[in-house]
Structure 1
Amino acid sequence: MSIGRRRLGQGVAAAAGGLALPWIAARPAEAQRSANTLRIAFRDAVPNIDPFFNSQRTGLIIGHQAMDGLVHREPATFRIVPALATEWRWVDSKTLDFTLRSGVKFHDGSDFGADDVVYTLNTVANPATRVATPSNYAWIDGCEKTGDNTVRLTMKRPTPAALEYLALVTPIWPKATRERLGPDGFSRLPIGTGPYRFTKNDVAAGVEFERFDGYYEGGPKGRPAIQKLVARYIGDAATELTELLGQRVDWIWNMNPDQVNNVNRMPYLQATRQESMRVGFLNLDAAGRSGADNPMTKLKVRQAVWHAIDRTAIAERLVGGGSRVPPAPCFPSQFGCNGDVAVRYDYDPAKARALLAEAGYPNGFDVELTSYVQPRQWSEAVQNYLRAAGIRANLNLMQVAAQIQRSQRGELAMQMASWGSYSINDVSAILPVYFANGADDYARDPEMIRLVEEGGNTAEEEVRKTAYDAAIRRATEQAYWCPLHTYVSTFGFQKQLEFPTFADELPRFYMAKWK
């Protein structure tokens, strides 16, 4: 056994296996079946459930149940199919024409039409709107109405993944209602055209939905079998699991992987796993945003961080379920994510210590390590590896929204987090977020910015690949953003619940049903 694996065992084994399953007498889920209700638990609270104004995966999931875009991506095949638009045509590499579906109603009873599409796309593309992830919409130049039920979308640059962005992160607002309520009023209980409608939103406690019986005929999400969804925010994994075991919730996810077998022993529960497109990472403040004297501004310190962590041990022994270490700062299946050009950093704590000494830190240093990652033993494992190499990482576990706010203010020297690319299978959904001079960019490297923009400004595959290859090579040479592992979504739910899972990390409650 390697030093890294011994330390993993010593440092986090107790946490990994220490959550004992309490003996709770099984109570059947008949009450929920008869009430036609599904009780859901999410780990993180979402301050703004309008999906344009949060970058949390939980926010994307919540919005997906209630709001539709022009097109839809089938979860099993990734094929783009009609949604609010029935047809589309590429006029040229920067222009898309859409024919809109007739007879669609918003949840407030108003009619969907071309004005809503034009209003939504032009609003979110405007930098003054301050959407949560500007790179998702920065490619949009504008949208115009070309007929009673037709619109034209023009792009600032060729965007091969345009339909994926429109399917996954661009739901359509009702223009008149949002203008009447104002952005803040609208976001309290957003109105869409999806199969569920919001009925309650408490930013601290959770969200409730009800089936929208007016969902349009032929809609790609179909009519839900379950009448009501009640989603609660539960802040930690142990409490969440206890609630599932006590049958006070019916569905959880991303629970501690060590509990999968234990949950499956319960006669009334089941647990499943599915690798997702989410990547866990360390973002290091090379730009000195958190302070010019920040050690992460030194290349050898960043390289020491990469060498200090046994990422393979974390992926295989803590995350499990087929988790792997991406060599590049992206998910391996994404277009442009060429791991072969990445600089590799083996686990080598002796080399990490030597690099720290060369950088002027022979006795190491103290640094705040912020993390919202659950289970907490994943963060503790990283902390232990860093400490063994001389980096005294003081772990500060935070709520997701709070850490995102601190990160975007430029306050964090070292942060542990994750990114799911909104399930878009193209590096344009991840590289611009962290390397294009936005709020989450802690490299602020002009060459990286140039390469990422070059890869995103053309539809020519070879030009894109060349630019992205160079960006990946530079990002890993400079040890800016350390990919730790891919995520494996772990679901736990009532055996009486039929719930399909997919690789895109987007739970679809409108496809669930009680048996």
Structure 2
Amino acid sequence: MDEYEHHLLEELRARRLSRRRFLMRASAAGLAVPAVSSILAACGPSDTSPQQGTPSGKPRRGGTANVAITKPASVVDPVTLYNQGGQTTAQIAGEYLCFPRADYTLDPRLAVSWKAKKPDEWTFVLRKGVKWHDGKDFTADDVVYTMNLLTDPKVNSSALSAFKGIFSHGNIEKVDDHTVTFHLDTPFVDFPYLVSSFNFNAIILPKGYQVGDFAKGRIGTGPFIMTQYQTETGATFERNPHYWDPRYPLLDGIKLTYYADDAAIALNMQGGKEQVWQVAPYQNSQALLKNPNLTVIKSKSSGYRGVHMRTDQAPFDNQHLREAVALCIDRPSLVKSLLGGFGSVGNDHSFAPVYPLAADALTGIPQRKQDYAAAKAALARGGKPRGFSVTLTTEQYLEIPQYAVLIKQACKKVGIDINLNVMPQSAYYGNGGNQPWLQVPMGIVDWGARGVPSQAILPAYTAHGIWNSAHWADPEFDKLFVRLNGTLDEQRRLSIAKQMAGIQHEQVPELIGYWISNLRITSSKIGGLAAGPSDHFDPRTLYMKG
């Protein structure tokens, strides 16, 4: 064991580190499975509950699965994709250096191991014997080319949002044909998550790839080869006979069908036309939950709906007025009414219950509850004892319009008059200089799951975050963020996380009322779909039940 492995072992032995948190840190640090197993064995029997398994049933090879997803917003390309339809399409054929399991630990894929010489220098050893779908060998040249492509400002890759301030163009080094080193702009102890599918665009592409080539098909190293692609209707995939893991895939092929909306997918799942819906929202899925011909797989998630309040302009430049809004919300009722219970209560900070760090970091921070008397007192402290008026602008998407109505109703009781402006999703997010969600005084954003807290915090809550819709800037919070990402010692990380969560909770730049659970739905004839994370599709383990 090296020094860091010894540190984790001692933390685990002293019970300052839970097994769940140990597994997360070991995964991020790239500890090999034998080392992890040895450390756990040295510390005695497990005190954690088992992970939820995949559906039971005798697997058999062969067959084609019908998979449904909403239509991508544009032609699918790993470099520029930004929504679920594009992600699912690309992940069937493409692969990442590592891939998240349901418990948010990382599974080696095109990389077999990784290690940090120091927190700003990460070396990845690549898998040998991997072939591209056209038969060429996969090498370090492909990884270097891909990362330089994704970080080139001229390319306009969606990955820039994840890499900004962490990893820049030209800072990846080829060590040999199967080893690369990332030289980071700043220490980041969770860097492997940024080259996993938690950074959707980080699919490794062949050297020389040009944006737009993916739609032509037969590009990737994954378990299935895309043989046909239609921008409006879907794509077909056949089994990759030369896949690097001889155990997979189990299916002969996949037929991916695009739908205009989730309601149409639900209807076709109910009727049996579709067999796999790997990212099913509670809204539109209620009728499927009791269907005996379907299997529902649930897991926790770090996805949430954030209600941001512009801290740089009235009325929300006053912290007390933001606090008043947060105190009006009945969080358990939100989970029940909007999610049917498939979620958990939020507390206005970024440390989701699914993160192992959160279980320890958040002790001592009181859970914010609906309290109208306290809300009125906060209004008085903010100089608005009779309330104020503001417009809440948001998107027409899933339960968000209903959420906006509930916020309006709850706040009205203390004199906060909220006018609603619900826009089409494409118009709300916009592009270029016209992005209403970044400009309105109050809005709601559907934040997808992130692998670690830092990955969620960087774009949304740091002073220079490109998606900081609250326009919030707290120098102390930003200093703590840098320390969190540059510190390996677990007790120091825990202390820093507590301070960060406390600052967010107190200042309320964004109301985080609930965290969303993953729901995945399959035909009872299909097995092998992992419990999650739902935005990440690993089709290689799918099988037809015998």
TM-score, normalising length: structure 2: 0.74
Going from structure 1 to structure 2, the CA distance change for 1:258 and 1:132 (only over 3 Å counts) comes to closer
State the distance in 2 between where 1:254 and 1:387 align: 33
Contact 2:62/2:250, CA 8 A, preserved across alignment: no
Q: 1:454 aligns with which of 459, 463, 483?
A: 483
Q: How many residues align?
A: 466
Going from structure 1 to structure 2, the CA distance change for 1:101 and 1:255 (only over 3 Å counts) comes to closer
Equivalent position SS for 2:335: helix
The alignment status of 1:229 with 2:252, answered yes or no, reads no
Alignment root-mean-square deviation, CA: 3.4
Query: What residue in structure 2 maps to residue 12 of structure 1?
Result: none
Contact 1:100/1:150, CA 8 A, preserved across alignment: yes
Q: Which amino acid aligns with 2:132?
A: F
Structure 1 position 329, deviation (Å): 2.1
Equivalent position SS for 1:145: strand
Structure 1 position 68, deviation (Å): 1.2
Equivalent position SS for 2:91: helix
The alignment status of 1:274 with 2:303, answered yes or no, reads no
Structure 1 position 394, deviation (Å): 0.7
Going from structure 1 to structure 2, the CA distance change for 1:507 and 1:58 (only over 3 Å counts) comes to same
Query: What residue in structure 2 maps to residue 412 of structure 1?
Result: 440
Query: What residue in structure 2 maps to residue 431 of structure 1?
Result: 457
Contact 1:250/1:493, CA 8 A, preserved across alignment: yes
Query: What residue in structure 2 maps to residue 148 of structure 1?
Result: 177
The alignment status of 1:509 with 2:539, answered yes or no, reads yes
Contact 1:272/1:492, CA 8 A, preserved across alignment: yes
The alignment status of 1:158 with 2:187, answered yes or no, reads yes
The alignment status of 1:194 with 2:222, answered yes or no, reads yes
The alignment status of 1:119 with 2:145, answered yes or no, reads yes
Going from structure 1 to structure 2, the CA distance change for 1:388 and 1:429 (only over 3 Å counts) comes to same
Q: Which amino acid aligns with 1:172?
A: I
Q: 1:345 aligns with which of 364, 368, 379?
A: 368
The alignment status of 1:329 with 2:350, answered yes or no, reads yes
TM-score, normalising length: structure 1: 0.78
State the distance in 2 between where 1:36 and 1:344 align: 47
CA shift digits 1:117-159 (9 cap, x unpaired):
1112233344554433535324236211222333222233332
Q: Percent identity?
A: 19
Contact 2:215/2:229, CA 8 A, preserved across alignment: no
Contact 1:356/1:364, CA 8 A, preserved across alignment: no
The alignment status of 1:440 with 2:460, answered yes or no, reads no
Structure 1 position 434, deviation (Å): 0.9
Going from structure 1 to structure 2, the CA distance change for 1:92 and 1:127 (only over 3 Å counts) comes to same
Structure 1 position 63, deviation (Å): 3.0
Going from structure 1 to structure 2, the CA distance change for 1:136 and 1:475 (only over 3 Å counts) comes to same
Q: Which amino acid aligns with 2:533?
A: D
Going from structure 1 to structure 2, the CA distance change for 1:491 and 1:80 (only over 3 Å counts) comes to closer
The alignment status of 1:315 with 2:335, answered yes or no, reads yes
Q: 2:503 aligns with which of 474, 484, 496?
A: 474
Query: What residue in structure 1 maps to residue 30 of structure 2?
Result: none
Q: Which amino acid aligns with 2:162?
A: N
Q: 2:308 aligns with which of 265, 279, 283?
A: 283
Going from structure 1 to structure 2, the CA distance change for 1:37 and 1:336 (only over 3 Å counts) comes to closer
Contact 1:190/1:198, CA 8 A, preserved across alignment: yes
State the distance in 1 between where 2:218 and 2:437 align: 27
State the distance in 2 between where 1:185 and 1:366 align: 46
Query: What residue in structure 1 maps to residue 10 of structure 2?
Result: none
Equivalent position SS for 2:308: strand
CA shift digits 1:193-237 (9 cap, x unpaired):
11223445555x3541403424432279x21415123131332x4
The alignment status of 1:95 with 2:95, answered yes or no, reads no
Query: Could you list the runs of 5+ residues in structure 2 that have no partner in the other structure?
Result: 1-60
Query: What residue in structure 2 maps to residue 208 of structure 1?
Result: 235
Q: 2:91 aligns with which of 64, 70, 79?
A: 64
Query: What residue in structure 2 maps to residue 398 of structure 1?
Result: 424
State the distance in 2 between where 1:133 and 1:210 align: 25
Going from structure 1 to structure 2, the CA distance change for 1:45 and 1:445 (only over 3 Å counts) comes to same
Going from structure 1 to structure 2, the CA distance change for 1:418 and 1:189 (only over 3 Å counts) comes to farther
Q: Which amino acid aligns with 1:156?
A: D
